[in-house]
Chains A and B, each alone.
Chain A
Amino acid sequence: MGVPMTKITLNRVYAVRDHWSLSASGTFNEGVHLVSGDVGSGKSTLALMMAGLLPLSGGDIEREEVTTSMLSLQFPELHVTGLSVAEECESWGVAPDEILDAIGMTGKKEVSPLSLSRGELKRLHLACVLVKDYDLLLLDEPFSSLDCEEKVKLCAYIGKKSQGITVIFTHEQNILPRVKRIWEIVDGSLVDCGIPPDAFQNWHHVPPAIKKRIALGSTPDNISRDDFLEAECRTQG
């Protein structure tokens, strides 16, 4: 008998609000998944539903071998429960010194988390979230408020993850990690675009840089910067 696989299945899940609706079906297996979509398309709503924090208007979600889960909300300040940065780290169950050293914020232990810039707070929040392993990790717009350097670091970290399901909900188009599967929300429905590079054919939100590469005849294998550079080298010979 094989090792039971972690997976989450959405069975005709839907959410309805005044003049807006979202429907989703599909199975998320172990690995990194990307869910793209326009602003307001329902990415955050889907993330909340998958985390079990928002009641479904219909359908159901099956979780197999998912014992630990985590959702990182788009706006890091909403997670703040500590009156100082040190307290905030402790509220996540992590040692402040270790985390603050790692993200270059050593001197800010006693500072209020709300006095940090949005970028600093996002870095602190992601560092606290990513320090642990979860069976299901849902990241809602993890790249927002981060500069290019931090986005690259985050991608590298996510790329190294070897266990559990990681779902990234984002409209980021430039710096992305290597993913196993691409999904997108189009006209209120979650669509499974498939596995890259074949997924690029069905993906409405395919980043312009990848589109350009495809037009030049060198389709990248995946959506990370390394894949893109590799495809570029191929074109240039």
Chain B
Amino acid sequence: MQDPRIRIAAAAVLSLAAFMSLHGAAAVFLWWLVFTSLLQLAKRIRLVFSLILMIAFFSLVLELFGGGGLSYFTRMTVIVLIGMWIFSEQKSGEFLSIGVWLFGNRAGFELGMVAEMGMQSLISVTADLDRIRMAEKIKGMQWEVRNLVPAGLVLVHGALVRAEDTAELLAVRGYQYGGTMCPRFIIKPVDIVACMFAVGIFMFSLIPVSEFFILYR
């Protein structure tokens, strides 16, 4: 999807649909199969796998102690897939465009810029984490829980240093508040179709399907 506004709106309604009901989650999964690129997911397969594993753990606990674990697992997994899709489609500068489009060149610019910095920080942390794991391999260390503390410290330290550098850079350049930007969006017909389907799925998720199928009950 080229237009980030449509993409974010679609992701929001799809996440809600998947969260609200099992049949909604199934419909969202079908939407995900039809309208997103599986290649993008393949690039982040490790992250997806880790998240699904974490959800599986909590689902198991839920199933054992209160029930509903399977439903929770299915719904959350679909939400993760939608999250991964929006993360992989996101391009630098989009949050700034959306911020300015929504709230103008002052507050909107500021909000958009903060969101951009947040995304950049996330990308940097991910890259750092990959390098830390490589550095541990170099030292002949295994990826263990006890190594998480120094790795976490390095990640936090790196994020703080970068934040300080950015703040100094903005101050040096005389940045005070807001900016000027003319956001431009590319809208494709297929994106509108995908968004309409997403809204349709959201409405479908609100329907109590079990009321229509006696056998289901």
Contact = CB atoms under 8 A, between A and B. Distances in A.
A82 B150 contact: yes
B141 A81 contact: yes
Contact of A48 (B134, B141, B149, B154): B134
A78 B150 contact: no
B208 to A, nearest CB: 45
B150 A53 contact: no
Contacts of A70: 138
Interface residues of A, number: 19
A114 B134 contact: no
Given A70-B138, A91-B139, A81 B158 contact: no
A136 B50 CA distance: 34
Contacts of B151: 81
**Residue of B132, B138, B149, B157 with most partner-chain A CB within 10 A:** B138
Contact of B154 (A54, A71, A80, A91): A80
B139 A114 contact: no
B128 interface: yes
A77 B139 contact: no
Contacts of B158: 77
Contact of B135 (A78, A112, A114): A78
B44 interface: no
B138 A81 contact: no
B135 A73 contact: yes
B154 A114 contact: yes
A78 B154 contact: yes
Contacts of B157: 77, 114
B215 interface: no
A114 B150 CA distance: 10
A78 B128 contact: yes
B164 interface: no
Interface string A81-124: 11100000001100000000000000000001010000000000
Interface in A45-89: 48, 51, 53-54, 70-71, 73, 75, 77-83
B132 to A, nearest CB: 5
B154 A53 contact: no
Contact of A78 (B131, B141, B149): B131
Given A73-B131, A77-B154, A83-B149, 7 more contacts: A53-B138, A70-B138, A77-B157, A79-B135, A79-B138, A82-B150, A92-B139
Interface of B: 128, 131-132, 134-139, 141, 147, 149-151, 153-154, 157-158
